[in-house]
Amino acid sequence: MRAIRTIARREFGSYFGSPTAYVLLAVYLGLTGYFFYSDVAFFVTFGAQYLPTALWRYVFIDYRLVTLLVMPLVTMRLFAEERKLGTIELLWTLPVRDHQIILGKFLAAWGFFGVLVVLALIPFSVFYWFHPFDLGPPAAGLCGLLLLGTAFIACGLAASTLSENQVVSAMVTYGILVFFWFMTWNEAVGNEALIRVLTLLSLFDHYYSFATGTIQTVDVVYFLFFIFFFLYAGLRSLQSRSWRGVA
C-alpha cells in the first residue's frame, strides 16, 4: 500500500510541476463553464420545465466531450514519460509489483481528474445558489461522469504503456475512445443483431442514462468492466518487457 501511495503522490505532484496541468485545468474549467452557461441559456430561452431531460442531459453530454478532449492529455505521460526518461527501469528493480505501479499511476490520474470535476461543479453551485434544484439527477450525472472519466483514464493508462512517445499514447487513446463512441453510428453496415451487440459495447450509449438522472446496474457494470479490462491490458503491456525488452 505504501508503494502505491508513494507512486500516486509523486505522480500527482508531478502534474503540477509543469504548465501543462494548469493549461488543462484552465481549458476544462473554461469549456465546461461555457457549455453550462449555453445549456442554461438554451433551457431558459425555450421555456423548458423538466431539468433532467431539458438541462442536465445536455450539460453532462457536453461535459463528456470536454472530458474526452482533456483526459487523453492527462494520461499520455503516465508511462510514456517513464520510458523516455528510463525511470521505468528503476521502478522495475525496486521492491514494488507491476500492479502497484499501475494502481499508483491510476490513482494519481484519477486525483487530477477529481480536481477537474470539482472545478466543473462550480457552475452547478452558482446555479443552485440562485435557483435551488433537486440534487438527485445531477448527482447521477456526476456518477456517470466519474465512471466515464475513470474509463478514459484506464484506457489512456494502457495506451501510455505502449510507447515512449506521449503523442502516440494520446492518439491511441483518442482512437480507441472515439471508436467506442462511433461504433453504433453506422447502422447500415450491420443487421439488427449486430447493432444490438455494438450498442452493448458502446461507451457513450451507457452514459446517456446517467446524463438523464438514472443509474442502471448494467451501465455501472459495463463501466467497471471497461475500467478493469484496460487496467489489465496496461498490466500485461507492462509485463511484455519479458519478450520485447526494455526499449
Partner 1 sequence: MSSIGTEAGSGSAEICAEHLHKSFGGTVAVSDVSFEVARGEVIGFLGPNGAGKSTVLRMVTGVFPPTSGRATIAGRDVVREAIEARRSLGYLPERTALYADMGVRDYLKFVADMKQIPARDVTRAMSWAMGVSGIEHVAHRLVGNLSKGYRQRVGIAQAVLGEPPVVILDEPTSGLDPEQVSDIRTLIRGLGDDKRTVVLSTHILPEVEMICSRVIILAGGRIRAVDEPRRLERRLRPYKEYAVRVATADDALLARLRGIDHVAEVVLEPGRPAERREAGGDEEAAGAGTRVLLRLEHGFDMRREIAATIVDAGAGLLELQPVVMTLEEIFLKLVGESGGH
Q: Residue 164 or residue 205: which is nearer to partner 1 going by CB?
A: 164
Q: Residue 72 or residue 104: which is nearer to partner 1 going by CB?
A: 104
Q: Least CB distance from residue 138 to partner 1, whole Å?
A: 37
Q: Residue 106 or residue 180: which is nearer to partner 1 going by CB?
A: 106
In contact, 211 and 144? CB cutoff 8 Å: yes
In contact, 123 and 33? CB cutoff 8 Å: yes
Distance from C-alpha of 164 to C-alpha of 55, rounded to nearest angstrom: 42
Residue ranges in contact with partner 1 by CB under 8 A:
2-3, 6-7, 10, 14, 17-18, 85-97, 241-246
Helices (H) and strands (E) in the chain, counts: 14, 0
Q: Residue 125 or residue 242: which is nearer to partner 1 going by CB?
A: 242
Any idea what DSSP says for residue 191? -
Q: Residue 44 or residue 85: which is nearer to partner 1 going by CB?
A: 85
The grid coordinates of residue 207 equal 452514459
Nearest to 206 by CA among 64, 39, 67, 111: 64
The grid coordinates of residue 9 equal 503522490
In contact, 15 and 107? CB cutoff 8 Å: no
In contact, 100 and 33? CB cutoff 8 Å: no
